[in-house]
């Protein structure tokens, strides 16, 4: 009776066979078992989109598919597929050391069973189990390597800068970024009218939320701009909206305040287009539209008529 072989190439010698060669065959078997149990090898999958078949030969001591750890290498310029024979049953430590933003899929040679795929940006490690669970559609099962999702860690911490790798950080409605004490937060939400909104809150009783330009040069501007014909609005609360212009010590300041709601005013004031000169004042030069939504254009005026009246009054009462 001739020898038979396991799916990973170990020779099963029949009784009475291979006279005089048992020593050599046993040594080869031990080498195969050693590479299956703890062997490491690399497999280049460089190139464009392709399928790399990992085959197994009987008593093969160098077969990639018969090693415990396989490291995929090379520069890939297309999505890759790596396959193993349908009857292989073992587990693998896989490492994706390729360069190039393309996927690497590990699967059985054929069938519709489950597979494992390194994403285009996943240059990491994985533990997979080749189940040989079906003669035609066996599955590749993934074994969790640490946590499989950040949600499983209730207090995750970074050891360095977080690089989003051109992806976004998504917040669900009415949630955002909190400080470690939960006192200050930035909340991103969508209102009932589907308007995007960012809320900056401060749970402390003193101090107001602040957005400031810091670091770098000593003189840094903070730019805020709308899109298209949109406006930058200062919202009112229990009082009309106000813009406060502080002194350099931020200990006091003056305010520009909107008329109250009861006045129903929505007029617009446009500043002068001419150069500013000494001894002039701002005057409404023209008005387009009318009523509460009129648009007034200001000009710089020295008002000679008013000056003339003042001279005349000086003469009369002089």
pLDDT over 70 (residue 192): no
pLDDT over 90 (residue 191): no
pLDDT over 90 (residue 107): yes
pLDDT of residue 272: 94
pLDDT over 60 (residue 201): yes
pLDDT over 70 (residue 96): yes
Categorize the per-residue pLDDT at 284 as very low, low, confident or very high, splitting at 50, 70 and 90: very high
Predicted confidence (pLDDT) per residue in 264-274, tens digit: 999 999 999 98
* 225's tokens: 């701009």
pLDDT of residue 157: 81
CA angle 238, 268, 299 (to 5 degrees): 130
SS3 158: coil
Predicted confidence (pLDDT) per residue in 306-315, tens digit: 555 555 555 5
Categorize the per-residue pLDDT at 204 as very low, low, confident or very high, splitting at 50, 70 and 90: low
Stretch 272-295: mean pLDDT: 93
Stretch 127-132: mean pLDDT: 96
pLDDT of residue 32: 92
pLDDT of residue 217: 76
Give percent of the chain above pLDDT 90.
58
Q: Which of 18-22, 119-123, 211-215, 218-222 has the lowest mean pLDDT?
A: 211-215
pLDDT over 90 (residue 82): yes
What is the spatial distance between Cα 76 and Cα 101, in angstroms, rounded to a whole number? 8
pLDDT of residue 195: 64
Q: Where are the domains of the chain?
A: 4-148, 174-203, 265-318
SS3 142: strand
pLDDT of residue 208: 75
Which of 98, 108, 91 shows the shortest CA–CA distance to 74? 98
pLDDT over 60 (residue 176): yes
Stretch 252-276: mean pLDDT: 94
pLDDT of residue 183: 64
DSSP state of 99: B
pLDDT of residue 255: 94
Stretch 1-19: mean pLDDT: 86
Q: Give the helix ranges, DSSP H, for the chain.
A: 22-38, 304-317
* 126's tokens: 């994985």
Global pTM reads 0.52
């Amino acid at each position: 009776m001739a020898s038979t072989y396991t799916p990973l190439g170990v020779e099963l010698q029949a009784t009475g066979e291979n006279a005089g060669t048992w020593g050599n065959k046993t040594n080869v078997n031990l080498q195969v078992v050693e590479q299956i149990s703890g062997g490491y090898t690399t497999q280049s999958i460089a190139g464009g989109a392709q399928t790399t078949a990992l085959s197994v030969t009987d008593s093969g001591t160098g077969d990639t598919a018969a090693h415990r750890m396989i490291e995929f290498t090379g520069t890939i310029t297309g999505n890759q597929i790596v396959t193993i024979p349908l009857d292989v049953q073992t587990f693998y430590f896989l490492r994706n050391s390729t360069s190039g933003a393309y996927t690497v899929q590990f699967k059985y040679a054929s069938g519709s069973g489950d597979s494992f795929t390194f994403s285009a940006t996943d240059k990491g490690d994985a533990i997979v189990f080749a189940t040989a669970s079906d003669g035609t559609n066996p599955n590749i099962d993934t074994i969790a390597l640490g946590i499989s999702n950040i949600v499983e860690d209730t207090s995750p911490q970074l050891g360095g800068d977080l690089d989003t790798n051109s992806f976004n950080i998504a917040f669900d409605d009415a949630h955002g970024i909190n400080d470690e004490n939960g006192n200050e937060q930035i909340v991103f939400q969508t209102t009932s009218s589907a308007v995007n909104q960012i809320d900056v809150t401060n749970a402390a009783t003193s101090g107001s939320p602040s957005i400031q330009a810091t670091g770098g040069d000593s003189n840094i501007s903070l730019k805020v701009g709308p899109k298209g014909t949109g406006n930058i609005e200062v919202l009112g609360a229990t009082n009309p909206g106000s813009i406060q212009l502080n002194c350099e010590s931020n200990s006091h300041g003056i305010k520009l305040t909107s008329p109250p709601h009861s006045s129903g005013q929505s007029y617009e004031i446009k500043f002068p287009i001419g150069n500013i000169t000494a001894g002039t004042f701002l005057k409404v030069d023209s008005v387009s539209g009318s009523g509460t939504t009129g648009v007034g254009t200001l000009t710089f005026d020295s008002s000679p008529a008013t000056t003339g009246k003042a001279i005349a009054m000086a003469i009369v009462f002089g």
